[in-house]
Amino acid sequence: MKTKSWKVLGVDPGKNVGLALYDGAKERVVKLCTLQHESADSPQIHNAMDYLEKWQPDLVAIEGQFLKLNVHAMVSVVVSRCAWSNAAELYGKEFMITLPRQWQSLYGINKNKPTKKERLDRIRKEAQKICAVKPQTEHEECAALIAKYASLMWVL
């Protein structure tokens, strides 16, 4: 178990990137942000490096999304995931790739095969419980839950 304070940056990758900084000592998400990019080939690594430098996380948790998306969305997710993992590596930060089924099962989001709307409502409800600031987008809500999940796995 970590004895000092630790911070985990949760990343929901894609064209719109959700970011959440989870403070392990406070057990709360203390910062949120959604980055919007024009296209998949936007210079996302620059944004990633800026946020890693500004927020100073100990761990970067990036969602490894299922690739049952359309081709354009899949390219956005893969490019985004690569930018964030490369930036973490450049800054010497630990990073982990999480799968949606891992963090969603922790919060009971996929119980009883919910519709997309029910799943998003469950994500919103769970994210509100752990955020010190109010999430503005579903990307921030997912990033918050990813960060908390990664924090729990990392301190074990």
pLDDT single digits (tens) 99-129:
888 888 888 887 888 888 998 999 999 999 9
Contacts of residue 13, defined as CB under 8 A and 6 or more positions apart, other chains included, come to 62, 63, 65, 76, 77, 80, 81, 84
Cross-strand pairs, 107: none
pLDDT at 44 over 70: yes
26 C-beta neighbours (distance < 10 Å), count: 11
Q: How confident is the model at residue 26, as a pLDDT? A: 93
Instruction: Please give the domain boundaries of the chain with CATH numbers for all domains.
Output: 7-155 (3.30.420.10)
Cα dihedral sign, 85-89-93-94: positive
Mean per-residue pLDDT of the chain: 87
Q: Can you list the alpha helix ranges (DSSP code H) found in the chain?
A: 44-55, 71-90, 100-106, 116-130, 138-155
pTM: 0.89
> Whole-angstrom Cα distance, residue 67 to residue 79?
13
Exposed, middle or buried by CB within 10 Å (0-12, 13-18, 19+), for 13? Answer: buried
Return the exposure string of 106-134: e unless at least 16 CB atoms fall within 10 Å of the residue's CB, then b: ebebeeeeeeeeeeeebbeebbeebbeee
Give the CA-trace dihedral at 126, 130, 135, 137, to 10 degrees: -40
Tens digits of per-residue pLDDT, 61-96?
A: 999 866 666 777 777 888 888 889 999 999 999 999
pLDDT at 22 over 80: yes
- Looking at residue 105, its pLDDT comes to 85
pLDDT higher than threshold 90 for residue 4: no
More confident residue, 30 or 108: 30
Alpha-carbon gap, residue 56 to 62, rounded angstroms:
16
